[in-house]
Amino acid sequence: MKKIFKITLALLFIAGINIGCENFLEPSVDQNKPTETAVQSIDDLNSVVLGIHNELNTTGLYGRDIVAGPETMSDNAFSNQNSGRFVVQSEWDYTEDSGYPLGLWDGLYESIAAANIAINADIEPSMAVDYAKGQAYALRAFAHMQLLLNFGQQFSGGTLGIPYITTYNEGNLLPAREPVSNVWTKIGEDFTTAASLMDASMDAGSPVFMNTTAVKALQSRYYLFTAEFDNAIAAADAILTGYTPVAAGNLVAAWASGSGPNSIFEMGFTSTNNVGNNNLARIYRDTNYGDVEATQDLYDAYDANDARLGLFSVQGDTIRVNGKYVDELGSDNTRVIRFAEVWLNKAEALARRGNAGDLVDAIDMINTLSTARGSSTIYTVGTQAQVIADVLAERRLELAFEGHRLFDLARHQLDIPFVNVPGRGINFITNGPIPYGNQIFVLPIPQNELDANSSMEQNPFFD
């Protein structure tokens, strides 16, 4: 697992000491410092934390792939093979040498390595130091969570998770995979530590930095995913006071602004500092790439009056979500978590907790969101199973093309529906729906990791 530890300080200090958004991707001058002496001040510590954000900005992660990939693996989207991008994801045709899992594995563990340097930095405690270390704890938890969702066996009938790395230690190059349950516990502990260290008075006010609201928002996601519904509701309630969904007439413009709508945490880009042509707009829109199209099934799921249809374009039989990321030069920030998701996290937690009053409240919440989006759809209280299904349906409509659908299906133990795209040669590897629990649900551990780490176990489908 060389990439976990063999990370240079040039990466860690790539953001520089200036934390202004305009300099988010600008390198500082004197970066090549030994790890044991690099972090000696709060400015050094902030630079490391910004380096973590910067690593998450790369094309293989939140610059593009970690968002678009899960969409093409779900019933929301597919690759038209226009430039050969996202074909492997769309067809679920992975090998140990595929670039997509390698990019996720390396990039996320590199961000974890940087987080560990920040967390273990030996400098005098202060409110600012605690805040920066809290950010690092939250980002470490977040990165491990993404790794677990993609490489853990929780959706494929197994018990193996991923290595949970908490130290920057070049002597430990052979970490083994831990049980899924252990990894979830450690993710939760890191989020809790982050919340305890970070004082809201230190929040910078920009969603491109991990802040106290983002920690609570991600905790609402974490507790929902681990079926701790009381905690998920509490985490959501801590930040939802006063939240009002963007009105239907303002939704398209809010997305086109490059930040929002009601964004809590996003990866920051500018007109000069971005991933270039390898951005979400160029893969979603009809450009020289334009590989990722929406399915007819997704489009047909919307009510005719739903303002979210304004984020789509239809040309013949080609349907695109071209309104969520609009700048083909790549300056749009990638939205990681929005208030609308937290709203839906609470609604789902209520539905799955399942008391009679909870079901009423869950329906009220998704009706509030649906109505705000201009939809004529009115959900009614039914059985718990029906309410859960309705919340999941509303999640699909609201969060489409934001990287959630695959994991929402998997969390609910649902099959991945077959996407029939005549004339394009797009078929799942099973030539039909992928049954929940199939071993293909989990990505392969990259071959270079297996070669470097004798303690690493491959996922069974690829073994």
Which range of residues forms the domain containing residue 241?
A: 2-27+34-279+427-450
Using a 10 angstrom Cβ sphere, with 0-12 exposed, 13-18 middle and 19 or more buried, the burial of residue 350 is buried
Residue 10 has pLDDT above 60, yes or no: no
The answer to the question of residue 296 being in a domain is no
Query: What is the arithmetic mean of pLDDT over 5-32?
Result: 35
pLDDT per residue as tens digits for the range 183-230: 999 999 999 999 999 999 999 889 999 999 999 999 999 999 999 999
Separation CA 318–CA 174 (nearest Å): 47
CB atoms within 10 A of CB 81: 15
- Taken in order 437, 438, 439, 444, the sign of the CA dihedral is negative
Q: How many domains does the chain fold into?
A: 1
3-state class of 8 per DSSP? coil
pLDDT per residue as tens digits for the range 285-324: 998 899 999 999 999 999 999 999 999 999 999 999 999 9
Q: Which residues contact 19 (CB under 8 A, 6 or more apart)?
A: 46, 50, 204, 209
Q: ∠ CA(170), CA(176), CA(179), 5° rounding?
A: 135
Confidence class for position 28, pLDDT limits 50, 70, 90: very low
Q: Quick one: pLDDT at residue 169?
A: 67
- The residue type at 258: G
Q: Quick one: pLDDT at residue 422?
A: 66
The domain spanning residue 215 has which CATH number? Answer: 1.25.40.390
CB atoms within 10 A of CB 244: 9
Percentage of residues in the chain having pLDDT higher than 90: 84
pLDDT per residue as tens digits for the range 111-147: 999 999 999 999 999 999 999 999 999 999 999 999 9
Q: Which residues pair with 434 in a beta bridge?
A: 416
Residue 256 has pLDDT above 90, yes or no: yes
Percentage of residues in the chain having pLDDT higher than 70: 90
Cis check for the bond before 34: say yes or no (omega within 30 of 0): no
- For residues 426, 432, 435, 438, the Cα torsion angle rounded to the nearest 10 degrees is -60
Minimal CA–CA distance to 260: which of 207, 185, 191, 317?
Answer: 207
Separation CA 428–CA 431 (nearest Å): 5
pLDDT per residue as tens digits for the range 44-73: 999 999 999 999 999 999 999 999 999 999
The answer to the question of residue 373 being in a domain is no
pLDDT per residue as tens digits for the range 384-443: 999 999 999 999 999 999 999 999 999 999 999 988 886 666 667 778 899 999 999 999
- Taken in order 70, 71, 77, 80, the sign of the CA dihedral is negative
Which of 21-25, 93-97, 191-195, 404-408 bottoms out in mean pLDDT, i.e. has the lowest? 21-25
Separation CA 446–CA 104 (nearest Å): 10
The answer to the question of residue 397 being in a domain is no
Q: Which residues contact 37 (CB under 8 A, 6 or more apart)?
A: none
Q: Quick one: pLDDT at residue 261?
A: 87
Q: What is the pTM of this model?
A: 0.93
The answer to the question of residue 92 being in a domain is yes
Burial readout 287-312 (b: 16 or more C-beta within 10 A, e: otherwise): bebbbbbbbeebbebbbeebbbbbbb
Q: What share of the chain is helix, strand, coil (3-state, %, to 5)?
A: 50, 5, 45
pLDDT per residue as tens digits for the range 150-188: 999 999 999 999 999 998 865 567 899 999 999 999 999
Q: ∠ CA(68), CA(22), CA(127), 5° rounding?
A: 95
For every residue of 204-253, DSSP letters joined together read -S-TTS--HHHHHHHHHHHHHHTT-HHHHHHHHHHHHTT--PPPGGGHHH
3-state class of 426 per DSSP? strand
CB 223 within 8 A of CB 290: no
Separation CA 439–CA 156 (nearest Å): 5
CB 261 within 8 A of CB 402: no
Using a 10 angstrom Cβ sphere, with 0-12 exposed, 13-18 middle and 19 or more buried, the burial of residue 228 is middle
CB atoms within 10 A of CB 393: 15
Confidence class for position 235, pLDDT limits 50, 70, 90: very high
In which residue are the tokens 């042509």 written? 277
Q: Quick one: pLDDT at residue 421?
A: 80
Query: What is the arithmetic mean of pLDDT over 282-287?
Result: 94
Q: Quick one: pLDDT at residue 424?
A: 63
The answer to the question of residue 366 being in a domain is no
For residue 266, what is the enclosing H or E element?
strand 263-267
Separation CA 1–CA 106 (nearest Å): 9
The answer to the question of residue 135 being in a domain is yes
Q: Do strands 263-267 and 334-338 pair parallel, antiparallel, or not at all (unpaired)?
A: antiparallel
Q: Which residues pair with 318 in a beta bridge?
A: 315
Ramachandran quadrant class, 261 (left: phi over 0; alpha: psi -120 to 50; beta: rest): beta
The answer to the question of residue 386 being in a domain is no
The answer to the question of residue 442 being in a domain is yes
3-state class of 411 per DSSP? helix
The conformation of residue 326, written as its DSSP 8-state character, comes to: -
